[in-house]
């Protein structure tokens, strides 16, 4: 018996025992972040409630599910997680909520997230087709799954093919770059060399630009160099110095050789995006949602908005391997639908999430917010398939990894970014920056972060 059907049967039996069905509003409190680009996080749950209410009516059950959604105005997802923690601490937690995946371990540890493994196993019609890699983002240290992937996205390096044509590269080489990256025959150093060639030939002012502030895009590069951020057995954050030196060394070389400007981290987002759009920069590194402004009329230039025209001009690759024969790396940052383990309506909340996860509903969210599919079936949905941006991005999920499910990783990442900034500006060498970061992490976290000589020891 499927979960919603079992739930309906349970409610129907309760009504019969009472003698007659009676009117009741079952209020389900939901919390998420206010996001103009992602209203379907709420509307999909509301649509799921409509379906269940129709089932109630058909079964003669005089009850109604009412969604009381709170779209928080806090600044970001971490702030929402902290707001939720405060609510739970005073017994005011919602029945279901949306959480950035790296917080799932904390909410599970505190008993505020319901373990979903049994529900997932018993609900194959909703969860049997979810991309297997995404479940990794929803696991806590005990190996159990505590959330359902609500969306996904993918990061990449965008590169300008027209600039390669300007410096004499033939079409065979230009179009072979993604396949070479996949095969491990085109490395991060090869990417640097190509960017330098473009700049030295005068085809671009900047070889490579990345985000100017703390984020996760650049962590792809660290993963390509073999950096591990967490010990999976203990759930403890780690800082492997040898691999960190290699990764920061790549950023140091890029700045020293004039590929990345020394003041990249002092540039504004508008300046960085405009540089790429106005064809002053060969490579820009961020995520799939950036295509929205690349193919639009923003940032002082107009590019082709159709698939053929866009991909004739711009190419995508994950972070290449650090060494010949290695594997490329990619990052995704899923958000999770999570059920309050202490809710009196946990079964209903879980059933609502199952319905909202179905391909139709998730595709409505994905297409409207530039998020990639969470299931194979979504990629065949006409609305998703016809969105050439998302259809092209979905295969890149093959190499997806995730930031650690650890609440202190945000602070860890801030220290890491300070080191990246130091090597690009020339204030420190990669070795000095690694020692600096290690000291900062030790001061902030003490024994909560393990400083290692390498990832293997």
Token pair for residue 303?
Answer: 């590019």
Assign 71 to helix, strand or coil: strand
CA distance 58 to 90: 38
d(CA 343, CA 28): 9
- Cβ contact 40:374 at 8 Å: no
Helix (H) or strand (E) holding 452, with range, is: strand 449-452
- CA-only gyration radius of the chain, Å: 24
Strands 335-339 and 148-151 come out as antiparallel
Q: So what CATH class is 155-331+406-452?
A: alpha beta
| CA dist., res. 32 & res. 77, Å (int) | 9
DSSP 259: S
For residue 299, what are the contacts with CB-CB under 8 A and spacing of at least 6?
270, 273, 274, 276, 277, 278, 293
C-alpha–C-alpha distance, residues 280 and 415, integer Å: 30
Q: What CATH fold (topology level) applies to the domain 3-146+335-401?
A: D-Maltodextrin-Binding Protein; domain 2 (3.40.190)
First to last CA, the chain: 48
Q: Indicate the burial class of 18 (C-beta count within 10 angstroms; 0-12, 13-18, 19 or more).
A: exposed
List average pLDDT for each run of 10 residues in the chain, which is 457 residues long. Answer: 46 40 83 95 98 95 96 94 97 97 95 98 97 95 95 96 98 98 98 98 98 95 96 91 98 98 97 98 96 90 96 98 96 97 97 98 95 96 96 93 92 96 98 98 95 90
Q: Where in the chain is the domain with CATH 3.40.190.10?
A: 3-146+335-401, 155-331+406-452
Strand arrangement, sheet containing 230-231: 230-231, 236-240, 449-452
Angle (deg, nearest 10), helices 359-369 and 346-356 = 70
3-state secondary structure of 279: coil
Tokens of residue 249, six digits: 């060394």
Q: What is the pLDDT of residue 298?
A: 85
Backbone phi and psi for residue 340, each to the nearest 5 degrees, phi listed first: -70, 115
CA nearest to 216, candidates 401, 392, 395 = 401
C-alpha to C-alpha distance for 253 and 423, rounded to whole angstroms = 9
Q: What are 168's two structure tokens?
A: 């004499």
């Amino acid at each position: 018996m499927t979960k919603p059907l079992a739930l309906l049967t349970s409610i129907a039996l309760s009504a019969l025992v009472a003698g007659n069905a009676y009117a009741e509003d079952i209020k389900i409190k939901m919390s998420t972040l206010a996001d103009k680009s992602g209203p379907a996080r709420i509307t999909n749950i509301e649509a799921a409630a409509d379906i269940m209410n129709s089932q109630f009516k058909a079964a003669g059950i005089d009850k109604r599910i009412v969604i009381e959604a709170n779209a928080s105005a806090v600044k970001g997802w971490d702030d929402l997680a902290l707001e939720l923690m405060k609510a739970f601490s005073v017994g005011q937690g919602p029945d279901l909520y949306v959480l950035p995946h790296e917080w799932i371990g904390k909410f599970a540890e505190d008993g505020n997230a319901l373990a979903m493994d049994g529900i997932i196993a018993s609900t194959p019609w909703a969860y049997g087709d979810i991309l297997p890699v995404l479940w990794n983002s929803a696991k806590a240290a005990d190996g159990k799954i505590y959330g359902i992937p609500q969306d996904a996205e993918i990061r990449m390096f965008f590169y300008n093919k027209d600039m390669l044509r300007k410096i004499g590269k033939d079409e065979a080489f230009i179009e072979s770059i993604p396949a070479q990256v996949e095969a491990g025959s085109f490395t991060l150093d090869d990417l640097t060399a190509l960017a330098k060639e473009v700049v030295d030939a005068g085809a671009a002012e900047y070889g490579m630009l990345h985000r100017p502030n703390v984020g996760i895009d650049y962590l792809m590069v660290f993963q390509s160099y073999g950096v591990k951020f967490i010990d999976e057995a203990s759930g403890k954050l780690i800082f492997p110095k040898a691999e960190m030196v290699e990764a920061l060394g790549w950023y140091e070389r890029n700045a020293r050789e004039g590929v990345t400007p020394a003041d990249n981290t002092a540039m504004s987002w508008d300046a960085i995006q405009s540089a790429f759009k106005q064809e002053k920069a060969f490579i820009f590194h961020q995520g799939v949602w950036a295509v929205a402004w690349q193919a639009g009329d923003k940032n002082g230039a107009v590019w082709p908005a159709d698939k053929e025209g866009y991909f004739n001009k711009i190419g995508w690759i994950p972070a290449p391997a650090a060494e010949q024969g290695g594997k490329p790396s990619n990052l995704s940052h899923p958000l999770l639908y999570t059920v309050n383990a202490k809710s009196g309506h946990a079964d209903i909340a879980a059933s609502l999430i199952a319905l909202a996860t179905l391909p139709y509903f998730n595709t409505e969210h994905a297409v409207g917010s530039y998020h990639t599919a969470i299931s194979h079936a979504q990629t065949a949905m006409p609305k998703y398939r016809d969105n050439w941006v998302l259809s092209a991005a979905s295969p890149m999920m093959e190499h997806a990894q995730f930031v650690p499910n650890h609440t202190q990783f945000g602070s860890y990442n801030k220290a890491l970014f300070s080191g990246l900034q130091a090597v690009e500006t020339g204030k420190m060498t990669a070795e000095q920056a690694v020692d600096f970061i290690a000291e900062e992490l030790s001061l902030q976290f003490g024994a909560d972060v393990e400083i290692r000589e390498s990832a293997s020891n």
